[in-house]
Amino acid sequence: MPITPADLLRMKQKGERIPMVTAYDYSAARIAARAGIPLLLVGDSLGMVMHGHGTTLPVTLDDMVRHAAAVTRGSGDAMVVGDLPFLTYANEADAVTASRRMLAEGSVHCVKLEGGAAIAPIVRRLTELGVPVMGHLGFTPQSQHQIGLRVQAKQAAAAKQLLEDALLLEASGVCAIVLELVPAALAKAVSERLAVPTIGIGAGAGCDGQVQVWHDLLGLTEGKVPRHAGRYAELGEVIAAALGRYAEDVRAGVFPKPEQDAAIDPQELQRALGEG
């Protein structure tokens, strides 16, 4: 059985740290499941790492549903969380429609929404309808044109507001909250005040769990890598080298090897081709 929000709560209560990674397709989900990752995020970051966009904003609900369905087919016992993309939860009706599609068609177990007090009524309505919801505070990528790509809540007033938003989201029914690009001391303080788990990204080690983007974690990101990214492999270089060797072998005529060819009697082949 997949991990549930109740399991996440128990993990926090027992002091178990919660690893989470993004996944965007079936193969990645299968690998993560074998590694024992309990939480998979089908993030709207797929717009950048899978579709080549500069931001998450062009991602559609159809995109999210399609990728989520592939991930959940390979997710094993992991809990799959799916982002609701930009402006698909501007009001309760839209949020209900988007969530229904993510759960019914994408088969996710939970949806994630960005924002604080402004979305609290929407979170409350979704949870009333039985939809598990994960919050997201601090740097919220869907608002980057408004807030800028930088660490959030560095001033006292903003830090106080973030804590208030976190408590309000908890009261509205979220099962966990992602804290992105906020000062480590603030993230730790918020985590200690909340009953539900916090999942950090660029928010220090004081959160109850951590989430990383698949491509950053495995060395598949080209160009500048976020400072908070954990780099556990350089698979981009490994894959490029393997493809290069394959291309060389094809050009040199040494792939495939003769013994890999399917055996066929030369005389039968000639008769079949009308040459004998």
Mean pLDDT of 152-167: 96
Q: Are residues 94 and 174 in the same domain?
A: yes
The number of C-alpha atoms within 13 Å of 195 and in the hemisphere containing its C-beta is 11
| Burial state string for 137-158 with b = 16 or more CB within 10 A and e = fewer than 16 | bbbbbbeeeeeeeebbbeeeee
Tell me, yes or no, whether 127 and 258 share the same domain: no
pLDDT number for residue 269: 78
> What mean pLDDT is predicted for residues 244-271?
85
What is the pLDDT confidence band of residue 214, given thresholds at 50, 70 and 90?
very high
pLDDT higher than 90, residue 92 = yes
**275 is a catalytic site residue:** no
Q: Do 9 and 86 touch, CB atoms closer than 8 A?
A: no
Query: Mean pLDDT, to the nearest integer, of 104-119?
Result: 98
Residues 136 and 217 in one domain: yes
79 or 267, greater pLDDT = 79
Are 228 and 258 found together in one domain?
A: no
109 and 100 in contact (C-beta within 8 Å)?
Answer: no
Q: Count how many domains the chain has.
A: 2
Indicate whether 23 and 100 sit together in one domain: yes
Name, in order, each residue with C-beta under 8 angstroms of 274's C-beta and a sequence gap of 6 or more. none
Which residue in 105, 128, 164, 180 is the catalytic one? 180
| 253, 268: one domain | yes
Residue 17: CATH number of its domain: 3.20.20.60
Residue 5: how many CB atoms within 10 A of its CB?
20
Distance of CA 168 to the CA centre of its chain: 24
Residues 6+ apart with CB under 8 A from 265: none
Q: Is 216 helix (H, G, I), strand (E, B) or coil?
A: helix
Residue 148: per-residue pLDDT: 67
Q: Which residues contact 108 (CB under 8 A, 6 or more apart)?
A: 42, 68, 72, 80, 81, 82, 102
pTM, whole model, 2 decimals? 0.93
Q: What is the DSSP letter of 263?
A: P
Read off the pLDDT of each residue in 200-220 and give the average, rounded to a whole number: 97
Residues at the binding site for Mg(2+) are: 44, 83, 114
Instruction: Please report the pLDDT score of residue 38 as a whole number.
Output: 98
Q: Do 121 and 163 share a domain, yes or no?
A: yes
Q: 198, 174, 192: which is closest to 126 by C-alpha? A: 174
Mean pLDDT to the nearest integer, 236-248: 97
d(CA 78, CA 30) in angstroms, rounded, equals: 10
Residues 157 and 254 in one domain: no
**146 and 24 in a common domain:** yes
Q: Whole domain around residue 120: which residue ranges?
A: 5-233
Look at 268 and 187; give whichever has higher pLDDT. Answer: 187
Closest residue by Cα to residue 159 from 143, 177, 182: 182
pLDDT band at 226 (very low <50, low <70, confident <90, very high): confident
> What local confidence, expressed as pLDDT, does residue 150 receive?
80
Looking at the structure, do residues 221 and 244 belong to the same domain, yes or no?
no
Binding annotation for 3-methyl-2-oxobutanoate: 44-45, 83, 112
Residues in binding site: 44-45, 83, 112, 114
Higher pLDDT, 259 or 120: 120
The answer on 226 and 165 residing in a single domain is yes
* Rounded Cα distance, 88 and 114, in Å: 11
pLDDT-derived band at 107 (thresholds 50, 70, 90) equals: very high
Residue 264, pLDDT score = 78
